[in-house]
Amino acid sequence: MSNRVAVVTGAGRGLGEAIARDIAAAGVSVVLAGRSLEPLEVTQRLIESAGGVALVKQTDVTSAESVAELFDVAVTQLGGVDVLVNNAGVTGQVNLVDLDEAEWDRIFDTNVRGMFLCSREAGRRFAQTGSGRAVNVASVFGLLGRPGFSAYCASKGAVVNFTRSVGAEWARFGAQMNAVAPGYFATDINAELREDQSAMAKVLRRIPAYRMGTPDELANIVTYLALHAPDFLTGQTIAVDGGESSV
Ligand SMILES: NC(=O)c1ccc[n+]([C@@H]2O[C@H](COP(=O)([O-])OP(=O)(O)OC[C@H]3O[C@@H](n4cnc5c(N)ncnc54)[C@H](OP(=O)(O)O)[C@@H]3O)[C@@H](O)[C@H]2O)c1
């Protein structure tokens, strides 16, 4: 795998950091993207100290210009892009009657527009080479409804159906797009929830495995889809959720 290159967005912390480390451990050079430089550099050091190759590129996935620069760096410094992981994402809990346009746009700009911009850049290169893999990080909230999360649920539902459409589109030229739908994993995105014991108890009651996942459990599936899955698997979303979306 040593000549392959992966771009991972939101690679400075949480699930993105675990995914970047796991893909790098498979011998793939990784470009680490996100808005804050320092956490990306920490991930870079972790990958390098494990013997891997990682570059850092400060990127705002909501900006077409910033995303174009990210892919230019991957191509000029590492020779191309074989894998894209659209992991960058934000959430927010507001009931619809109180949801303002700025909050709706913040969530859709990152979770949907960001995925679109990165996928378009990757897809243009995959179409030229006749290969390539994209893995989108959706959410069980994209498969289920959840009061207070209409914008987030709608944005992740968009990720799931974008994955189906683009998976079918790219199959014509030999590239694949799949997605994972994480349930609850302990990261910064749910730090507030984890501090609230009664809310946590309610969450755990909904999860047959009765626990949150560990970032490595998600990273393993993303790496499988990015590097090892058969080419015939495309357009699919795999829930990694301790059974939450099955009941
Ligand atoms: N943890 C869970 O339980 C869970 C469950 C379901 C789905 N997910 C999804 O998994 C993904 C990762 O979440 P996480 O739990 O690891 O959350 P997190 O710890 O909050 O990390 C989110 C990452 O996205 C990056 N990001 C946000 N806006 C960005 C932008 N405009 N441009 C570039 N990067 C941006 C952040 O970096 P900067 O702020 O430095 O840019 C950060 O690295 C998200 O898509 C999330 O919706 C998580």
Residue 146 has pLDDT above 70, yes or no: yes
Helices (H), 50-133: 64-78, 101-108, 114-129
**Per-residue pLDDT, 184:** 97
The pairing of beta strand 83-86 with beta strand 54-58? unpaired
Average pLDDT over residues 212-237: 98
Predicted confidence (pLDDT) at residue 1 exceeds the cutoff of 80: no
Separation between Cα atoms, residue 209 and residue 183, nearest integer Å: 11
**Pocket flag, ligand 1, residue 6 (CB < 6 Å):** no
- Indicate the pLDDT class of residue 224, thresholds 50, 70 and 90: very high
pLDDT of residue 172: 97
Cβ of 242 closer than 6 Å to ligand 1, yes or no, is no
pLDDT confidence tier of residue 168, bands split at 50, 70 and 90 = very high
- Supply the DSSP symbol for 144: S
Structural domains in the chain plus CATH codes? 5-241 (3.40.50.720)
pLDDT, residue 70, reads 98
Q: What is the DSSP letter of 97?
A: G
Distance CA 234, CA 247 (A): 25
Catalytic residues: 152
Q: Which atom of ligand 1 is nearest to the CA of 12?
A: 43
Tell me what the mean pLDDT of segment 192-212 comes to.
96
pLDDT band for 145, please (50, 70, 90 cuts).
very high
Q: What is the mean pLDDT of residues 106-128?
A: 98
Protein residue with least CA distance to atom 32, ligand 1: 60
Ligand 1 atom nearest to 16, measured from its CA: 16
Instruction: Look at residue 239 in the predicted model and tell me its pLDDT.
Output: 98
Average pLDDT, the chain: 97
Task: Give the span between the Cα atoms of 94 and 183, in whole angstroms.
Answer: 20
21-68 residue pLDDT tens: 999 999 999 999 999 999 999 999 999 999 999 999 999 999 999 999
Number of CB atoms found within 10 A of residue 233's CB: 13
Nearest to 8, CA basis, from 140, 39, 217: 39
Whether ligand 1 lies within 6 angstroms of the CB of 86 is answered as no
pLDDT of 185 > 70? The answer is yes
